[in-house]
């Protein structure tokens, strides 16, 4: 294997082996604690522009298959692992992780101390990083100075959202699903419930959405800072009170901001498949799949028409809210799992119930 370097903006240098694309990349270096599901993590659009580090030591051991993608194209900037499995063993495997990343032009580095890297991120927060070209000898000091001066792109939602609407037909409730970087697992869960779905781009207006006569609106997950898409916040403001809404991850943040709350960047984010969340409405604790770098300020919710429904047991941050006047609710985690626990898949049933109740209410007033 050829040599590759991972450089961090704080001056830390890791030397390892290159796999995947021969090209280099720049991105925000993050980590996930998920022990399985590397294919879903790599294909999650929420990782757009980020260099994803896996804390689990061996990755690639069951290969890549056509069934477990969360998106068709990859949006992340790189992959960092301790040990690459070069000969996967699984009956579904069709190619190796190395072959897949080569095909998608995503660089990877293996053979470095990912525990040390994770401790650095936990101590200092997420950092800008650079993966050098495979086999390239570089001037470390110069490259780190360039890295410090580089700017991480802000238009990440625009990069991963669809550009034209498309249907996913069913015979149940009509749902407009707004794609901010949607994981396909969300679409799968709605399809399971026979919803008649129209997937629309992130910049679709409230007028266009309501013109589709939806029974409900689903706001998907997506990458980046929610304040970078102010038009989406305005769109959510306009549809609150008009139709039942369910938001996930970035969708949750947009509902909160549209209601008057504020967001902040977490030091190193929540990423993994084992995050405990307490449902304050039932007292039940569920293990959840999470992938986000921003959260909603709990204190800012007091002045809104929202109430907190879920909290993270690891750090006490807000994990879910519901509107006190309208049929609107959201969660910061991923109820569809993919990969990860499906303890919270019942929230999709709650969304169906909310649409049914709203329909009955409207028929009484008709």
- Please give the Cα distance from 214 to 178 (Å, whole number): 12
Take residue 189 and report the two structure tokens written for it: 């869960």
pLDDT at 364 over 90: no
- Structural domains in the chain, CATH included, are 3-153 (3.50.30.20), 157-365 (3.40.50.880)
Model confidence over 119-159: pLDDT tens digits? 999 999 999 999 999 999 999 999 999 999 998 888 899 99
pLDDT at 3 over 80: yes
Assess whether 249 carries a catalytic annotation.
yes
What is the chain's alpha carbon radius of gyration, rounded to the nearest angstrom?
A: 21
- Please give the Cα distance from 36 to 174 (Å, whole number): 34
Assess whether 334 carries a catalytic annotation.
yes
Tell me, what's the pLDDT at 181? 98
Instruction: Please state the residue numbers annotated as binding site for L-glutamine.
Output: 46, 222, 224, 250, 253, 291, 293-294
Q: What is the pTM of this model?
A: 0.96
State the catalytic residue, choosing from 28, 110, 319, 336. 336
More confident residue, 361 or 115: 115
Tell me, what's the pLDDT at 366? 61
- Please give the Cα distance from 157 to 195 (Å, whole number): 25
Tell me, what's the pLDDT at 317? 98
pLDDT at 365 over 90: no
pLDDT at 363 over 80: no
Model confidence over 26-47: pLDDT tens digits? 999 999 999 999 999 999 999 9
State the catalytic residue, choosing from 249, 319, 323, 342. 249
Instruction: Please state the residue numbers annotated as binding site.
Output: 46, 222, 224, 250, 253, 291, 293-294
Model confidence over 252-309: pLDDT tens digits? 999 999 999 999 999 999 999 999 999 999 999 999 999 999 999 999 999 999 999 9
CB atoms within 10 A of CB 305: 16
Tell me, what's the pLDDT at 152? 85
What contacts 229, CB < 8 A, 6 or more positions away? 157, 180, 202, 254
State the catalytic residue, choosing from 48, 319, 334, 342. 334
């Amino acid at each position: 294997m050829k040599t590759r370097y991972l450089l961090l903006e704080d001056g830390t240098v890791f030397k390892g082996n290159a796999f995947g694309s021969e090209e280099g990349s720049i991105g925000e270096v993050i980590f996930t604690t998920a022990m399985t599901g590397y294919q879903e993590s790599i294909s999650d659009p929420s990782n757009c522009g980020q260099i994803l580090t896996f804390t689990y030591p061996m990755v690639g051991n069951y290969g890549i298959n056509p069934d477990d993608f969360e998106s068709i194209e990859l949006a992340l900037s790189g992959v960092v692992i301790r040990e690459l499995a070069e000969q996967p063993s699984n009956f579904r495997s069709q190619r190796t992780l190395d072959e897949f990343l080569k095909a998608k032009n995503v660089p990877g580095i293996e053979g470095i101390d990912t525990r040390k890297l994770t401790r650095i991120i936990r101590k200092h927060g997420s950092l800008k990083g650079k993966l050098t070209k495979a086999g390239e000898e570089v001037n470390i000091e110069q490259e780190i100075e360039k890295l410090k001066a580089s700017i991480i792109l802000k238009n990440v939602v625009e990069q991963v959202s669809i550009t034209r609407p498309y249907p996913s037909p069913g015979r149940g409730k009509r749902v407009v699903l707004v794609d901010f970087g949607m994981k396909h697992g969300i679409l799968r869960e709605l399809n399971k419930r026979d919803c008649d779905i129209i997937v629309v781009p992130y910049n679709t207006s409230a007028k266009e959405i309501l013109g589709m006569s939806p029974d409900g609106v689903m706001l998907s997950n997506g990458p980046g800072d929610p304040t970078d898409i102010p038009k989406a916040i305005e769109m959510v403001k306009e549809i609150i009170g008009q139709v039942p809404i369910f938001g996930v991850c970035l969708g949750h943040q947009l509902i909160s901001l549209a209601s008057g709350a504020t967001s902040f960047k977490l030091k190193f984010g929540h990423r993994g498949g084992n995050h405990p969340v307490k449902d304050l409405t039932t007292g039940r604790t569920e293990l959840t799949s999470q992938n986000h770098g921003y959260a909603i300020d709990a204190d800012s919710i007091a002045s809104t028409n929202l109430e907190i429904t879920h909290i993270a047991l690891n750090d006490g941050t807000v994990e879910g809210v519901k509107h006190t006047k309208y049929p609107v609710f959201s969660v910061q985690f991923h109820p569809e799992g993919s990969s990860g626990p499906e303890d919270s898949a019942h929230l999709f049933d709650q969304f169906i119930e909310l649409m049914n109740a709203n329909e009955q209410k409207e028929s009484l007033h008709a």
